[in-house]
Each structure stands twice: as C-alpha cells, then as structure tokens.
Amino acid sequence: MPQLSVHAPAAIVVDVDARAVLWGRDLHAPRHPASLAKLMTVMVALDQAPLDRQVTVPVEATQVEGDSTVMGLSPGEVVTVEDLMYGVFLRSGNDAAETLARVFTDRAHFVDLMNRKAAALGMVDSHFTNPTGLDDPAMNTSAYDMAVAAAAIVVRYSQVLPLSQAREAVMPQVVSHKAYDMHALNRLVGTYPGATGLKTGYTDEAGYCLVGSAQRGTRHLVAVVMGDDLSLTTDTVKLLDYGFSTHLD
C-alpha cells in the first residue's frame, strides 16, 4: 500500500461492492468507538421498527451527561424513528440514541442486540455496552469493524442514507413536539462529491473519529479514521480520493 499522509493511528478505506480493503493502518487495533457506536444503534432500531413509526420520548432518555451532544428532546414528545435518525446522524444526539434504545425493548436487551448484530456481521473486535458511544473500559471496536458496520448500512439499511447525507433537517412545531432545526456535524456532507454520510464521533478516550461513505457511479466506498486530531475530515477525504483512484480487476 502507498504511504498516505493520514494522521489517524487507525484508518481504513474499503470498496463496499467488491468487499475489498483498499488501504489500512492498524485495522484491528482496539479503539474506543465514541459516537461511531451509534451505527449499531441505528441498525438495531431499524430491525425493530420502520422510519415512520411514532414513539414517545422517555424521561430517562433525556437524562444524559451534561456535556453530551443532543438533539434536544423533551420527555413525552412524540416523534418518528426518522426524526430520531436525523438527530443521530446530524447532531449525534445521545438523547436520540437513548430513545431508540428504550422504546422498543429495555435498554439492556437493546445493547445485547447491538452485540448480537456485531457478531452476525463478523465484527470480532467489538463489544458494546451502551447505545451512545460514551467511554467505557469494557467497550471497544476497531477501524475494520466500523467499516463493516458502515458497509452494512450502505447495503442493507440504505433507507437512512438520504438522512445521513442531509446537511440540515427542519422539523416544524406540531402538537406532539417542538420545532427542531438541525445542521450536520459531518463536514463531508455537502462538500465531498458523492458523499452519503455517515457518522462523526469524539470522546476524550477515543479522540476524533469519522466514518465517511461516498458513491460515484456504481462504486460505494467507506473510509474510517479513529483516534484522529482535527485533521479527521481531511484524512477521510484522502482515503476516499485514494479509493476512487484505485480500480480493482
């Protein structure tokens, strides 16, 4: 593999359609997932309900840590799964993720389903203990496993790609909930040609993380950087550019 000036200690770019790793660094090194864990939350929630399902926000889902990124949900609001997905992808809302983890089953069972999903996908480096990605010594993943999760969303849960690639989501006030105006944290969206999302993440232990997906023609690529610095978007662009410049036989 060529030397790419990527700052992240763990990184990967894969061709989703060919199921091929195009470039990687420390693919299986244990990493804290930060909010990249929400990719698992998204898949498990979609296994439970369609995007148009209405749910009521539980009190417990809004009692997140004070420094959490949030969608801004209030207890008792009635929103759709799609609304919560916007909150997860655009704002990385811990309150949105906690709501998804509590409205279809109990939270502990939901986390168990996250781990079962990871095992079914072949994510052998991963163990999840919460639906948000907040640091926990028992929760680990790898750049490779996050690429597997992202590829699964691109292929099997493509109904959320229009949400993950949105730059903004405006939800007007209605009887069941207040107004929301959310803007994407993912700087790939709207700037990188063909970008389809997917997810940003940051915690003190994880550093800056980003899963970026993009499509050009019939090619779908996923790039992951973990433990990065503020170069995370630039690094992801380098990986995607390299991937699209590589043509598999």
- 129 burial (CB, 10 Å; 0-12 / 13-18 / 19+) is middle
CA dist 77 and 194 (Å) reads: 35
pLDDT of residue 247: 80
Count of domains for the chain: 1
Residue 94 lies in a domain: yes
Residue 126 lies in a domain: yes
Residue 4 lies in a domain: no
pLDDT band at 65 (very low <50, low <70, confident <90, very high): confident
58 and 66 in contact (C-beta within 8 Å)?
no
List, in sequence order, every residue forming a beta bridge with 216; answer none if it has no partner. 219
Q: 65-74, long-range: CB within 8 Å, 24+ apart, which pairs? A: 65/94, 65/134, 68/94, 68/95, 68/132, 68/134, 69/35, 69/93, 69/94, 69/185, 70/94, 70/95, 70/96, 71/95, 71/96, 71/180, 71/182, 72/180, 73/99, 74/177, 74/178
Mean pLDDT of 139-144: 98
Residue 194 lies in a domain: yes
Question: Whole-model pTM?
Answer: 0.96
What does the pLDDT look like over 83-119, one tens digit per residue?
999 999 999 999 999 999 999 999 999 999 999 999 9
pLDDT of residue 249: 66
pLDDT of residue 178: 96
Residue 34 lies in a domain: yes
pLDDT of residue 2: 86
Residue 1 lies in a domain: no
Residues annotated as part of the active site: 35, 38, 92
Residue 5 lies in a domain: no
- CATH code, 40: 3.40.710.10
Which range of residues forms the domain containing residue 132?
10-245
pLDDT of residue 248: 74
Residue 22 lies in a domain: yes
Q: Residue 50 pLDDT more than 90?
A: yes
CB within 8 Å of 3: residues ≥ 6 apart: none
